[in-house]
Amino acid sequence: MRLVQPLWPDTSVYLLHTRTWLETGNRYSDSHDSKGPLLIWLSAPVVRLVGAGAPAAGLLRGFAALVTAGVIWTLLRRRAPAGRSPWLPAALVVVLPVAPSLWGDSLRPENYATALAAVVLLLGHRGTRGAFCAAGALTAATFFLKSVLILPPALILTGLLVHRTWTHRRIPWADAGAMAGGALLAVGLILGALAATDSLPDWWRQTVTWPAEYRQAAPSPAPAATTGLTARALALYKATDDPHRPWLMPLKIPATLIRSGMAPLFLLALVMIWRTVGRWSALHALIGCWILGELFKLGLEYRRWMYPAAGLIPPLLLWIGLAPTGPRRVRWLPELTMLVVLPMLVGLLAHAGTLARARLTGAPLGPYEELAGQLRDIYRPGETLLVLDNNYALHLLLPAPPPPPVLSLHAAMVNPAERGALQRTIQASPPDWLVGRELAYTAIHLDDPASPTVKVIERVGELCLSGPYPLVVTNGSAWARHRAPP
């Protein structure tokens, strides 16, 4: 199923940046995005092997899921009560994150971060200095996927140090030093690679200062409605996106668990945690820190997305799988687990059926897949595209050259100097094709397609383009316009 997913917006952006990096060797000089370099570096081998398309995204998501499942299987095989199979939790770790309720159809840095957190847990459980050094290196590396993703592995290592301090009645300085040494080594290698082959200032700008700027500049949600409990609750939930009211962000956690379908699994894990109070081992403490880190990450997420909740699946299933035998309902844990995840599995099967039917009949999934088929016979290799939307799959499907570094989606989010550079780039080298949808997410708009000359102006923080771009192809949703010769 992972191999036949369409190229959704996030996937298209990350694969496009990976392809650009493979072609030029520069991530931050030649493309503009808030994610760290590790996302591109981990994706690059598969993209080079099979190309920047849906199969590459599926293979990468599948590989990350298998790494996570392998850790869960290994720990349960070693530590689960006798007679309890590790196969069901491991299989669910692979399957559940693809559920539509979790928006599991895109390649994201969270896919890699979950696998890294699982490996950090395994290394921490091993308990050797070498393992601690490797765990520190992987934890630091996670920061270079997306900064907030460092929370789960960092809390795992913090919990490990606290537990060892409590157990041995002294601070384990040597263990902490091994972790810190591994972390410093990873940071040094990554920053050194960026300095040697790319641009450290551009990396810092795009991954640290730029996200802070556009989040603080985000408009506050509308005030809560004055009538109706449901309206008030909805307005309060929407207000959790407001960076100026961070105290509302924890409300995202229960709301996201409910909306994503994760609440039943979370409640079952809470029951198992409560029933095993007083019998927690060091491994239980580390898993608890992993769960806590995932919850913190979920609360700190900038938007009300569903996919961050998928990171809770492995630690929750691991804790449930380690629950000791005893009462009948604990002996029935596999059946209980299947029962609580059944709604997600039903949605997953229905989605898989839709994908399979579309792929077997050759029906395009999404307007840009259809548009790519319509353009394939008339598009000339090397012609440039400017996509006025948040999905850049057409660059990969045709394929077409990369767009300017700042994507149309981000044109209103960058600073005036960066937006001015984009404006001058489009004005100096007008694209051969304009592509978009009727309802698009973009900060570059087509003003006058009948204008005899190309002109790009800024209006209220967005760019407006006019020029001779007659309509060539449309499929009722997406359209393509080609620049007429002078």
In order along its 486 residues, the chain shows pLDDT tens digits of 556 678 899 999 999 999 999 999 999 999 999 999 999 999 999 999 999 999 999 999 999 999 999 999 999 999 988 778 899 999 999 999 999 999 888 899 999 999 999 999 999 999 899 999 999 999 999 999 999 999 999 999 999 999 899 888 888 999 999 999 999 999 999 999 999 999 999 999 999 999 888 877 654 444 444 567 777 777 777 777 777 777 788 888 998 999 999 999 999 999 888 877 777 788 999 999 999 999 999 988 877 889 999 999 999 999 999 887 665 555 677 888 899 999 999 999 998 888 888 878 877 778 899 999 999 999 999 999 999 999 999 999 999 999 999 999 999 999 999 999 999 999 999 999 999 998 888 999 999 999 999 999 999 999 999 999 999 999 989 999 999 987
229 within a domain of the structure (yes/no): no
Cα 152 off chain centre by: 15
Q: Which residue has the tokens 């979370």?
A: 266
Residue labelled with tokens 């580390």? 286
Cis previous bond, 485, omega within 30: no
Greatest C-alpha distance within the chain: 81
Asked if the structure places residue 238 within a domain, the reply is no
> Which contiguous run of DSSP H or E holds residue 267?
helix 263-275
- 313 with 418, same domain: the answer is no
Task: Give the Cα separation of 96 and 114 in Å (integer).
Answer: 13
The DSSP code for 36 is -
Domain holding 94, by residue range, is: 2-217+260-355
Residue 249 lies in a domain: no
Fill in the amino acid letter for 118: A
How far lies 278's CA from each of 274, 284, 323, 409, in Å? Answer: 9, 11, 12, 51
Residues 6 or more apart in contact with residue 184 via CB below 8 angstroms: 140
Locus of tokens 């991530």: 27
Tell me how many domains the chain contains.
2
Q: Are 310 and 440 members of one domain?
A: no
Task: Give a yes or no: residue 291 inside a domain.
Answer: yes
Q: Are residues 198 and 271 in the same domain?
A: yes
Helix (H) or strand (E) holding 79: helix 54-79
> What pTM was computed for the model?
0.92
Same domain flag for 311 and 454: no
Q: Which of 169, 156, 85 is nearest to 119 (CA)?
A: 156
- End of a domain among 355, 378, 397? 355
171 and 315 co-located in one domain: yes
Assigned domain for 379 exists: no
